[in-house]
Amino acid sequence: MAIEPVPLWLQLLVFPGILFTAVFGLVTSWIDRKVTARVQMRAGPPFLQPFYDVVKLMIKETSVPEGASRALFLSAPLFGFAAVSLASMLIWRAMLQPGAGFGGDLIVILYILTIPAVSVILGSFASRNPLASVGGSREMKLLLAYELPLVISVFVPVIQTGKIRLEQILAHPAAVTEPSGVVALLVALICMQAKLTLVPFDAPEAETELTGGAYIEYSGPPLGIFKLTRAMMLFTMPVFIVAVLCGGIDAHAGFGTFVLGVLKYVGLVVLIVLIRNTCPRVRTDQAVKFFWGPATAVALAAALLAFFGK
Amino acid sequence: MFHLGGSACNNCDIEILDALTPKYDLERFGIVLVGSIKHADVILLAGVFNRKTRIRARRVYEQAPKPVIVVAYGACACGGCMFKDSYNVDGPIGDDIPVDAYLAGCPPKPEALIAAVAKLIGKLRSG
């Protein structure tokens, strides 16, 4: 299933770019809310609820706080939205279109995937609200903390295969077939939980503590774009981890392997949601000590294992 | 849904929280409780608003992005109930904030809140 004939700008806008990621991001958001509801013995929202939420926000009034940095406040959500659309398109092109990647695209994707967090930080500091700035500073600390073990664990398949292009990594057997890959997957799972600001690492947007945290002054379309970006990250990050560590979603080798790939992705999402529902929130300093301590040590152990050929 | 309490006895607040628990579960209608007034589409006014909280409640209402629906929850928010002639109550909160739906009861049961939500949805759909 090559997507070569479709022109590049259309790929960016529709599939596998903005529209595809947005729709499936909202579907993943629904999976999250439904599984959360079921775990709490409730019924949960209907399937189209996340779509309703985003569309409703587009027709509400946008209010910019007095004294806030207006241009930065309104443009901050767009950076994250553009970044996650681009990252998703690059990942799916590497999985679907042979020869579509470029040297170092794995590193580019890693960099681009940090931009949504940075856009939240920018937006929160542009809000001129002390609660928002607390949320933003927590997000900054968390970003510094989890990026380190995440990058190390994503580099384990690079060490295993000796290749840096995403589609060349996909051409080799999945990283989890080796013990170092399994350890790397565990570390990547925990880092992904923090990257998506889900419990136990959702200190930046603690609802009960910070009444909305970094997003407190946002309303209307900018808030809608922030929520859409969160949903798209919830879709893109598990796909990225599946692509790098678990062998990707292979559309070339027949329907069975494609379904298996989709099941890997759904399994990761359900795991994230279950962790989200069973853990309490940790403080920022506990999170930073955890990521720079045990998590990095385990990731380095996985990298060493991979280096010695295991 | 944003819960705006104004010097209430807290029974209404407890009943609102009850409506979000698994037994009555408002999330199946897509309703969630939000922390910031800027994220709110429905404001639930609970409690009788005395002189001090009236001013602040009016300020909070002005910060809510329009269009927003205001529901007066409980007999005190509707018209003051037994506190209407009290020394620190200047009149019903409906004088300051335009209310779309009144929900009487002391406190209204969660089933009443769900029925009110359903009626509001019907009213909004028909214009």
Q: What is the pLDDT of residue A63?
A: 86
Res. A2 pLDDT band, cuts 50 70 90: low
pLDDT in tens, A192-216: 999 988 878 887 776 556 577 788 8
- Is A288 among the domain residues? yes
Q: What is the pLDDT of residue A253?
A: 73
Residue-range domains of chain B with CATH = 2-120 (3.40.50.12280)
- Domain residues for A236? 8-307
Which range has the worst mean pLDDT, A79-83, A118-122, A247-251?
A247-251
A52 vs B contacts (CB less than 8 Å):
30
Give yes or no for residue B46 having a pLDDT over 60: yes
- Is A85 among the domain residues? yes
Mean pLDDT of B52-75: 88
A49 vs B contacts (CB less than 8 Å):
30
| Closest Cα in chain B, distance from residue A306 (Å) | 46
Mean pLDDT of A146-173: 86
ipTM of the complex: 0.85
- Is A2 among the domain residues? no
Q: Does A90 touch chain B (CB under 8 A)?
A: no
Alpha-carbon distances of B42 from B31, B32, B38, B64, B83, rounded to whole Å = 9, 10, 11, 9, 25
Residue of A49, A212, A220 with shortest CB distance to B35: A212
- Is A1 among the domain residues? no
The residue with greater pLDDT, A9 or B29, is: B29
- Is A114 among the domain residues? yes
Q: Do B38 and A216 touch (CB under 8 A)?
A: yes
- Is A3 among the domain residues? no
Q: What average pLDDT does chain B have?
A: 85
Mean pLDDT of B39-48: 88
In eight-state DSSP terms, residue B25 is -
Residue of B nearest to A224 (CA): B39
Q: What average pLDDT does chain A have?
A: 86
- Is A153 among the domain residues? yes
Give yes or no for residue A310 having a pLDDT over 60: yes
Give yes or no for residue A237 having a pLDDT over 80: yes
Q: Do B27 and A33 touch (CB under 8 A)?
A: yes
Percent of chain B whose predicted confidence (pLDDT) is above 90: 3
Q: What domain count does chain A have? A: 1
Res. A298 pLDDT band, cuts 50 70 90: very high
The residue among B29, B34, B36 with the most chain A CBs within 10 A of its CB, best to mutate, is B36
The residue with greater pLDDT, A54 or A97, is: A54
* pTM assigned to the model: 0.90
Q: What is the pLDDT of residue B69?
A: 87
Q: What is the pLDDT of residue B123?
A: 82
Q: Does A53 touch chain B (CB under 8 A)?
A: yes
